[in-house]
Structure 1
Amino acid sequence: MTMIVAGLGNPGPKYEATRHNIGFLVADALAARNNARWATHKATKSDVVELRLNGENVVVMKPRTYMNLSGQSVGGLAKYLKLSPGQIVAIHDDLDLDFGAIRLKLGGGEGGHNGLRSLTSHLNTRDYLRVRVGIGRPPGRMDVASYVLKPFSKIERDTLGVIVEEAADAVELLLELGLEAAQNRVHAR
């Protein structure tokens, strides 16, 4: 069964190292593990890599739209490939998890995340898989939008590579074992 793994983020060098782009970083890690090169999928405004993971066809994608419009690209690719929302995994930053925490789930709310809101809107359901990567809450009274669009702190950068690899491991476990078994392993860490 083919799956879409969508790393959520914002395109362009201005946003590359920001907290909101952790989904892109994980997607890049999955591509690098498989020595795959990104190609532009013009019909869906996204960059894609086709992989075989655990014997399954997987299309890893990074929307070329901004975060708030991610659903256009993800929904467009799902329609193009004739896939259901249950065949989509969204990798995204999560303010409600401590920095570096990784959680897997199916469905649920958007928690104020505009990328998820866009996916839900374009897929007409909240029932898609999610790999939530914690970025923590903004300090003091810092505006949430400012916080997610800021680069990682020096302390965060020291462990970011490990967290990105752990999130990529979580994606692979999810695809290999299914949600419940993967949750049991990932959430136990």
Structure 2
Amino acid sequence: MFIIVGLGNPERKYDGTRHNIGFSAITVIADKYNISMDIKKHKAVCGKGYIEGQKVILAMPQTYMNLSGESVRELVDYYKIDPERELIVIYDDINLAPGRLRIREKGSAGGHNGIKNIISHLGTQVFPRIRIGVGEKPKGWDLADYVLGRFAKDEEPVIREALDNAAEACGIIVDDEIRTAMNKFN
């Protein structure tokens, strides 16, 4: 079994923002694999289903970004999975160009507070992740204002493609192994 977690903030006002691209990815994955996101537990909105024949739990933590680890820890403990092999976390990255993916088996938080909280709650930096580029903040902008802002019209097609690629990458990871996804999308 795999748990695939997309990071974001729960209020409607954050829908479609750069920081909520993890939630957007979960929505695309749920649509692609016909998984209903209708379960509310573990401080998350979840869905159960199958991707490439593997049982999966999709989750969007409702704890706000900076406390995402609370929900992820509950999910990992309840379903008794090994986060080093059976957890995939999808989130935004300002150090990547809009729409670019970077898939890793492990790594530091890189300044991302949601990942920092997950690492703190899991006690390890070793868990698969898919970072989706949202672009660097413009000079003079406040970082919070930038990541809580929406994509420009000309970025939207690139972001839609990135979300489709993230869904495909999840399929490859659960069906085969992470290195195949890394070779295809990094």
Provide the TM-score with structure 1 as the length reference.
0.94
Please give the residue correspondences for 1:129-148 in structure 2 after superposition, counting only pairs within 5 Å: 129-148=128-147
Partner of 2:179: 180
98-107 or 176-185: bigger deviation: 176-185
Rounded Cα–Cα distance in structure 2 between residues aligned with 1:97 and 1:162: 15
Partner of 2:160: 161
- Residue aligned with 2:163, SS: helix
Determine whether 1:116 maps to 2:115: yes
Deviation at 1:147, TM superposition (A): 0.7
Rounded Cα–Cα distance in structure 2 between residues aligned with 1:37 and 1:179: 25
Deviation at 1:82, TM superposition (A): 0.9
- 1:60-81 per-residue CA deviation (whole Å, 9 max, x = no partner) reads 1000110001110111111011
Rounded Cα–Cα distance in structure 2 between residues aligned with 1:7 and 1:158: 20
Aligned residues: 185
Partner of 2:99: 100
Partner AA of 1:185 in structure 2:
K
- After the TM superposition, which parts of structure 1 deviate over 6 Å for at least 4 consecutive aligned residues? none
Q: Contact 2:22–2:90 at 8 Å: present in 1 too?
A: yes
Deviation at 1:25, TM superposition (A): 0.5
Partner of 1:19: 18
28-37 or 70-79: bigger deviation: 28-37
Rounded Cα–Cα distance in structure 1 between residues aligned with 2:139 and 2:11: 29
Provide the TM-score with structure 2 as the length reference.
0.95
Structure 2, unmatched stretches of 5+, are none
Partner of 1:38: 37
Partner of 2:46: 48
Rounded Cα–Cα distance in structure 2 between residues aligned with 1:139 and 1:71: 29
Partner of 2:69: 71
Rounded Cα–Cα distance in structure 2 between residues aligned with 1:96 and 1:161: 19
Deviation at 1:89, TM superposition (A): 0.4
Determine whether 1:88 maps to 2:87: yes
Deviation at 1:135, TM superposition (A): 0.8
Rounded Cα–Cα distance in structure 1 between residues aligned with 2:92 and 2:123: 21
Deviation at 1:162, TM superposition (A): 1.8
Partner AA of 2:12 in structure 1:
P
